[in-house]
Homo-oligomer: A and B are copies of this chain.
Amino acid sequence: MAQKITKRSEDYSQWYLDVVKEAQLAEHSPVRGSMVIKPTGMALWENMRNALDHMFKETGHENAYFPLFIPKSFLSKEAQHVEGFAKECAVVTHSRLKSVEGGVEVDPDSRLEEELIVRPTSETIIWDTYRNWIQSYRDLPILVNQWANVVRWEMRTRLFLRTMEFLWQEGHTAHATREEAVAETKQMLEVYRSFAEEFMAMPVITGVKTASERFAGAEDTYCIEALMQDGKALQAGTSHFLGQNFAKAFDVTFQDKDGEHKHVWATSWGVSTRLIGGLIMTHSDDSGLVIPPKLAPKQVVIVPIYRSDEEQDLVLAYGNALLEELKTKGIRAHMDTRDTYKPGFKFAEHEARGIPLRIAIGPRDVQNNKVELARRDTFEKQLTDRDGIADTIANLLETIQNDLFQRALQRRNDMTTEVESYDEFKQVLDEKGGFIYAHWDGTAETEERIKNETKATIRCIPFGDSEGGKCMVTGKDSPKKVLFARAY
């Protein structure tokens, strides 16, 4: 399998597609821009979803489900929102087909009175619903999340990173005060940060977007930004403080404790199957996918090696006992008993699919009460005692998880540069890429100029204090350095 994967150094984009293919995560579908998520990819997404869902519930959120279709008129109610999404909407106009010679055609008599938009995001339909759910301060806060598919008509798509239809979660909360809504926005960003770092082993920078990069309809967009191996940034999750924009657009008010009627404060926040793209480009290598153990659908694969029937019986019995012991310990283990493939083929296949740990067992291991462990991330092998193997492996999986994070962090730090001048900025960008901290005067004009001249964008204004200085382009005052990169 491994030789089917293009080297990163040769063609990074092709490498990415090869990894997705050989790991059997997803493939293109006949509907342009849509993907088929294959069972291995779906199992990975389910693990990510379950971990996130648990974190959402721990922070007091409940799931609900809102309609796929949004009346066209709803989109127009929030001016910036429609501006942001109008140009990439799938529009349903008819409700029937009719048979004609050689196939079916749209039945012109089934034209809808009002067209329906396939949701690109659900703020409008949800705030229309919240109007009926909220009368009094007693009805607040509303802390709701939705797991759903959404559609944005993208012209240039890439599996997981940018697809016309994608799976995501979108949280939509309603609050009595600005302070509470801002606190929620920040809390959910922190949930995303800790998920990215603790589960995906993907270090992220947190901060706030500039006005031009904000979600359409938000007062502030907070984000987590990760750095991929090729030195490009990936926006991995966003949490929006929506102010009272949607409450005003949909007339959602509540009677406060003081008897006054006030508009409700809102947040929304989301991550999507795009995270899988981020995970791939954070850890994988020229042999294929590398998955952090916490998210791996299969954490351990046992490959039995034998020549004779007698050896087979011996090795499989040894392997089955081992398998049971690992499962009992809660380790997601699997034995590859296919007799149509040789061990070497299996090794390459499991490497391409990113299983964190491989156990090879042969007749001699049975005799010596040993197993051979091979780490996917480092390819290190070690011959280990069979006794206490479940604990050994549990610890090793934890080590792998930590090592993946530390290596990714080290790489990000190595690829992060602080610059003082625009010349230095351009030089670093072209020669090294990565994250670049630089002073910026805070204007959209300068941001736009930098983007046009270098293709780098401001990924975020990081949280926390830093020293003031002068904008690298205009020399005007800048309160702090901001984070630039070329991005996916």
Task: Give the B-binding residues of A (Cβ under 8 A).
Answer: 27, 29-31, 34-39, 41-43, 45-46, 62-76, 82-83, 86-99, 103-104, 106, 110, 115-118, 125, 128-129, 132, 138, 144, 148-149, 151, 153, 165, 167, 340
Contacts and interface: CB of A to CB of B under 8 A. Distances in A.
B97 A118 contact: no
A145 to B, nearest CB: 9
A29 B128 CA distance: 9
Contacts of A42: 62-65
Contacts of A35: 67
Contact of A125 (B30, B72, B86, B128): B30
A420 to B, nearest CB: 43
A92 B43 CA distance: 30
Contacts of A67: 29, 31, 34-36, 165
Contacts of A90: 69, 92, 94-95, 116
Nearest to A79: B99
B62 A165 contact: no
A460 to B, nearest CB: 30
Contacts of A128: 30
Chain A contact residues: helix, strand, loop or mixed: mixed
A92 B95 contact: no
Contacts of A72: 97, 103-104, 106
A65 to B, nearest CB: 4
A86 to B, nearest CB: 4
B34 A68 contact: yes
A460 B458 CA distance: 63
Given A31-B71, A86-B96, A91 B106 contact: yes
Contacts of A149: 68, 148-149
A68 B35 CA distance: 10
A42 B147 CA distance: 11
B88 A95 contact: yes
B68 A151 contact: yes
Nearest to A67: B34
7 smallest CB-CB distances across A and B, nearest first, come from A39-B62, A34-B67, A37-B65, A86-B97, A91-B94, A76-B103, A95-B153
26 contacts: A27-B129, A29-B129, A30-B128, A31-B67, A31-B70, A31-B116, A34-B69, A35-B67, A36-B65, A36-B67, A37-B64, A38-B64, A43-B62, A43-B63, A68-B149, A69-B165, A76-B103, A83-B99, A86-B98, A89-B94, A90-B94, A90-B116, A92-B93, A93-B93, A106-B115, A118-B118
A97 B87 contact: yes
Q: Which of A38, A87, A90, A151 has the most CB of B within 10 A?
A: A90
Contact of A36 (B64, B106, B117): B64
A295 to B, nearest CB: 16
A97 B81 CA distance: 13
B96 A93 contact: no
A92 B125 CA distance: 19
Contact of A104 (B41, B43, B75, B98): B75
Residue picked from A36, A65, A103, most chain B C-beta under 10 Å: A65
A446 to B, nearest CB: 28
Q: Which residue, A34, A71, A128, A132, has most C-beta atoms of chain B within 10 A?
A: A34
Contacts of A36: 64-67, 129
A97 B106 contact: no
Given A30-B71, A93-B93, 8 more contacts: A42-B65, A69-B165, A72-B97, A76-B103, A86-B99, A87-B97, A95-B153, A97-B117
A115 B110 CA distance: 14
A27 B128 CA distance: 13
Contacts of A63: 39, 42-43, 46
A129 to B, nearest CB: 6
